[in-house]
Structures are given as C-alpha cells and as structure tokens.
Amino acid sequence: MKNYICLNPCCNGICFHFRDSPLIKEFEGFQDTEDYKPIERILINLTNHPYEDWSTEQKQAAVSFGNVIDLPFPMISPEASSDEIKSLTNEYVHKIEEISENKIATVHVMGEMNFVFSIVTILKANGYRCIASTTDRDVQINEDGIKTAIFKFHQFRDY
C-alpha cells in the first residue's frame, strides 16, 4: 500500500482517505515516471531558538514535518505600534511564502504574542499548518534570589 501526500491536518501529511479512487490510481502510475518529483516537506522554525540548540527529543519530534529551516524571530520593541506589527507580519508572511515555494510547509511560531497571533491568523488563512512547542518548566530560585528556568520539550501542538 502506498501513502499519499495530503494537506489535511488530520492526516499529518500521509493520506489514507482516497487510496482507492481512480485519481489516486492514475497518480500511482505517474509516480513511476522520470517526471515525478516528490514534494519536499519542511518545518520553518520562526522562533528565537535555532534548530541546532533544540533537545534531542524536540529534533526527533520535528522529523515528521521534514527538513527544518530556521527563520529567526524578529526583534519587536514593546513600544511597537499595531501598524508596525502589521507591517512586520506582512514582511514575514512574504519571507515564508518564498521559503516554502513548491514545498509543503509547517510553520513553528513562538514569540511576542501580538505578532504570533497576527502571523498565525494570516498563515492559517493561506493554508499553512502552524504549530507551537509545549514544554514543562522547572523554575529554581538560587540562594541569591536569581531564578533559573529549565524547559523540557513535551510536544508540538497545532494552533
């Protein structure tokens, strides 16, 4: 049995919905030709945490999304206006569209809340799957009162 690329989020890229349809049977024949090129799957990492710094557990969980491409999260001033957030959002949507051209892209977005809300809203409306990473947080307070937070990756979750 062959698997089929699907953009339906419930399938996570592997579709079993239509495997017996005539269109799929025709597609199977096309896969065996020299003209067939599989569609690359990528995970665009729009965060302040580059892939190379991820834990082994997070890297293993990311494998199902394809190759990871870091897109550093923008520096956003707490004094930025709504119009500045909108402009920055449009700029980053354009960057993501360029990176993901002819690919199936999932976008991992974590950061400043107004920007995240804005970009996830637009990306989802344009058909992108957007995910967040979830962590367990262990906060320790040293003798001098300094807090140290240790984050342990748990899972990716859809927005």
Q: What is the mean pLDDT of residues 103-107?
A: 97
pLDDT reported for residue 38 = 80
52-85 per-residue burial string, b: 16 or more CB within 10 A, e: under 16: eebeeebeebbeebbebbbbebbeeeeebeeeeb
Do the Cβ atoms of 85 and 115 come closer than 8 Å? yes
Q: How are beta strands 67-70 and 40-46 bridged, if at all?
A: parallel
The residue type of 135 is: T
Q: At what angle do helices 113-125 and 82-99 cross, to 10 degrees?
A: 50
Q: What is the pLDDT of residues 78-104, one digit of tens each?
A: 999 999 999 999 999 999 999 999 999
Task: Over range 140-151, report the average pLDDT.
Answer: 87
Distance CA 28, CA 152 (A): 42
Domains parsed from the chain with CATH numbers: 1-38 (no CATH), 39-158 (3.40.50)
Instruction: Please tell me the predicted confidence (pLDDT) of residue 31.
Output: 56
Higher pLDDT, 113 or 149: 113
